[in-house]
Structure 1
């Protein structure tokens, strides 16, 4: 698109803003942000800081996504590269826990102060990286209140008929409630990338073959064990051990895993990051689900019978005698192979998938606490835990956000690959940094030729140093959409996204995306035509860290 056509698009949008009749269900702003994630909030705050009107249209009721949805044991990597509003978020968490009133269920001195690589509470830098879900949500709500953010909650994009484009630019979109949101710039800050997809932007779901980008860790990875999430002993996959005619145990696929290095449409597993409590006055015991069937956890019973004893290794401590409990081991809270259709599924089907994951995980917790096939010492310890009663209080203590580790990924102006993350090549036009390992959870559970069960897809390759993330990862190709930025479902390969997909990085990229959107409005240009040096100047002023 030429400069003249870009200018026409912006003049056209401006004409709509100045002349269109106001209706009850039409809402206008310079920047429309779709999503309620941590990236959505930082994007909205940055837009307001740059003098733009902004509306947040969130399908979620709660702000913060996974940051307030149970992921309190933050995956940070090298904390020195976390700047801007992301660092401000962790500073505010620190200020909260500096108050004596914050320590209701535990004495401050009893908290172990253990974080990922550094202390949870970093007094020297006045940041805290580990927190309770409700504390994170309150910080996001404070951001919203202080910046007078207008947020429309429980508003779902009409994915089939709601998008209006003109000359390669989004004019507006409609939600299922009938509201129309009209803007100059749009930001898709969802985990799923629904706005991006509805606008016709190219994307990928699954794992690329290694050959696509010349990578080593993409595609199928049978026999690659980089964490402890695999079956270490020969455990039969069949209901009657060693007898294929008896049929497979539950939760095992009957499909071959594929050839190493080949691509597929499979996704790393989802789960819920539960906030568990050990305080008897602040816990909800694990209830027996209505459709509970202990047979579906027989694999775990066999893991225990083999001598495995790492049940509590990822019950990571967060303040007030609680844990952020994550997947650990060969059979755990990850519901492997049950999310493949989630990214592009209808809203109704997504709700079914989320319910299936919740039923599986709730049943697992009940099994761990009660089943006689679980070692007595494990059951005794599990009996001390329950869902934290003061978290997710409108949902019975259960997290309101499923952990969408990966869904759609844009194929945009620049595709980040493992070569960028591992420092093999220089990243152009940096707008933020990452540092976490190439991290993917298991993608499938299958039967080996010998009749044993095994997992596949788990990788954990550490970069030697932090890496920059390119502006090109936030923007579509220019011939697709000229006024959209995507700070969550960024343009990257499966392996690169395994590192980028951390909540602090999403906050960083949300802020940078809003800065780019604001400058593009000022200059009346497409986001692809924005002069990088102008964006860089603003980001450095906002204390973003762009390179080391």
Structure 2
């Protein structure tokens, strides 16, 4: 029965494809307008967009699951600022919300995410070639004409498949199609001097670090005894210098503490407790308090987790992935298997090694693998977290200056807002002690645009490929951009640009960016539906301010938000006036960021052009989940006419704490 399931998974065209209902043994070639390589979140959204725009589409995925990390365990979404999540990316999180009975949701189970990606494929009807990996490309000058793929799991199982297309989009985490096509790229970290940055290259900082005094040697104090496992036998290089090292990979681990859905964590094959000796050394200097000392356990619906790396020694397999970006498929598989063995062994070690305090072991044993997740892969995610691999060197390189707003791209096709974030790249002996190297976490900036020129190569290299995932960015800037919601937005933008290139018969480098931006704004769901209307407090053309409001620079929806702390005195108000392009019923929401000393009485007036409705919102009762800065609160449904001026007014009338005026959203009923 197990082999029968594998055969079904290897059928080239998935059950939801409608374009070419053929099977592996009689398919030798495909031809489409757009070919997308990589079925992660960006790939699915790109394929959906191109198909909705009337193009024939083939999506090629080397594995047998859609969604990448978004359906592979990273369910506690890294966002930065929800303002940057637009179009179909926002639609995805709305669909997640619908599943859990909410407006939108940013924490979710892997199987729920995968079901939604499968539904996108089924609804659009594009062709999905599962279980196929790239082995060759053919070019005519600077045009990529075709890619050749083979069965990912059994390369000799059937004839190779040739896929011809007018436009190609590389959505893989590794940038394999880009690299094989002759596009310039880099791996590792640039020296600070290359792009005039300050936090690129070699860095030894305090985050996820060992305390001072942890001995690195097998026999403490004896260098001749050799280094403990996980420590590189190389010298620390100059701060800010470049190298080819890659920030650590890990698995975002889905466990459960629900007994009826729990499979015990057992001793894995090739288990080696010596790999975890450094954890014991670390805990001699920083004694145990709970299992949360070494794991970031983010709670998910239905008793599940998204577990991430924490501290000096955890789930990151530091320094063991440097070869991955350029490795062949067999070597990559070995690296992935090594990471899986390490991670499962780490969990087993925490719950069973007698040197771990009993209370910690008991905590760990409350968790196990969920029976209802990854059922075709031993209840373990098939997706290794490839935080960074190749990065294109395109027409423009996004750098630290763009993240911090010192330079601004005037051709933005997405926005990013997350902290410039790099996990550790190496673990070394520094002054006789164990130290991790490479962790950087620097934020404090608002949303910023990501340039279209960062997803297209130089014209002389390839004229018909777009690269929205392994895009053109320095190591440290990529650390801010590389979030799954941003990849979805970039994937949609790449698909719109590819369709324009086809229609105009032009290279992707000559696409009209303003036309792309306009289409993304006017048709964000790629289905011709009426777009929702957002009025942010920074939108001066549609916001009327009365009184003295202070401006908060971070933590809200978008770049800033307004606050009033007066409680008494003059009446201060902010009117949000939407530009209604189609008369309809609209569900109206107001955004409340996390706020200290929030008012329990926020007075809101809704005027639909004819009638006025008064609402009192208690900000103190708003529960903010996940990494989001705040939550949307429903004000109800109202009929808004294109010909009448409506507004939502937020005031400090009868306030007993801090009043916030940030953003108002008008969502047409569908």
SS at match of 1:175: strand
* Aligned 1:94-109 pairs, distance under 5 A: 94-98=97-101
Query: Alignment partner of 2:139: what SS?
Result: strand
1:258 and 2:237 aligned: yes
Q: 1:92 aligns with which of 65, 88, 95?
A: 95
C-alpha separation in 2, matches of 1:242 and 1:480: 54
* Residue equivalent to 1:295: 274
Would you say 1:149 and 2:135 are equivalent positions?
Answer: no
Instruction: Report the alpha carbon displacement of residue 308 of structure 1 after superposing the two structures with TM.
Output: 4.5
| Kept after mapping to 1: 8 A contact 2:30/2:162 | yes
Aligned to 1:279: 258
Per-residue Cα deviation, 1:522-541 (whole angstroms, up to 9, x for no partner):
00000001122111111111
Q: Which structure's CA Rg is the greater one?
A: 2
How many residues end up aligned between the 2 structures?
A: 493
Aligned to 1:41: 44
Task: Please list, as runs of the form range in 1=range in 2, the aligned pairs for 1:213-362 lying within 5 A after superposition.
Answer: 213-222=195-204, 224-225=205-206, 227=207, 229-306=208-285, 307-309=287-289, 311-312=291-292, 314-362=296-344
Question: Per-residue deviation at 1:305?
Answer: 2.2
How far apart are residue 310 of structure 1 and its match? 5.6
Q: CA deviation at 1:24?
A: 4.1
Corresponding residue SS for 2:133: coil
Bigger relative contact order, structure 1 or 2 (CA pairs below 8 A, ≥6 apart): 1
Task: Answer yes or no: is the 8 Å Cα contact 1:90–1:129 preserved in 2.
Answer: yes
Contact 2:72 2:381 (C-alpha < 8 Å) held by counterparts: yes
Provide the C-alpha distance between the structure 1 equivalents of 2:512 and 2:83, rounded to a whole number of angstroms.
27
Higher share of residues assigned strand: 2
SS for the counterpart of 1:27 is strand
Distance 2:476 2:378 in 1: 35
The aligned counterpart of 2:110 is 133
1:498 counterpart = 2:475: no
TM-score by length of 1: 0.88
Name the one with the larger helix percent.
1
Shift of 1:53: 0.8
- Alignment partners' CA distance in 2, 1:206 and 1:185: 28
- Decide whether the 8 Å contact of 2:185 with 2:391 is kept in 1: yes
Q: Distance in 1 between matches of 2:173 and 2:407?
A: 27
> How far apart are residue 244 of structure 1 and its match?
1.0
Q: Is the 8 A contact 1:412 1:474 kept in 2?
A: yes
| Structure 2 residue 435 is the aligned partner of structure 1 residue 454 | yes
Tell me the CA shift for residue 176 of structure 1.
2.2
Please say if residues 424 and 439 of structure 2, whose CA atoms lie closer than 8 Å, have aligned partners that are also in contact: yes
- Alignment partner for residue 31 of structure 1, among 29, 34, 57? 34
Tell me, which stretches of 5 or more residues in structure 1 are unaligned? 1-22, 99-122
| Aligned 8 A contact 2:56 2:126 in 1 | no
Q: CA deviation at 1:73?
A: 0.3
Contact 1:26 1:180 in 2 (8 A): yes
What residue is the counterpart of 2:147 in the other structure? Answer: 173
Match of 2:501 among 517, 520, 531: 520
1:543 to partner: Cα distance: 3.5
Query: How far is the alpha carbon of 1:26 from its aligned partner?
Result: 1.1
1:424, distance to aligned residue in structure 2 (A)? 1.0
Contact 1:436 1:463 in 2 (8 A): no
Contact 1:257 1:444 in 2 (8 A): no
- RMSD (Å) for aligned C-alpha atoms: 1.5
Q: Which residue of the partner structure matches residue 547 of structure 2?
A: none
Contact 2:81 2:417 in 1 (8 A): yes
Secondary structure class of the residue paired with 1:156:
strand
Which of 379, 383, 392 in structure 2 is aligned with 1:401?
383
The alpha carbon displacement at 1:428 in A equals: 2.2
Alignment partner, residue 542 of structure 1:
523
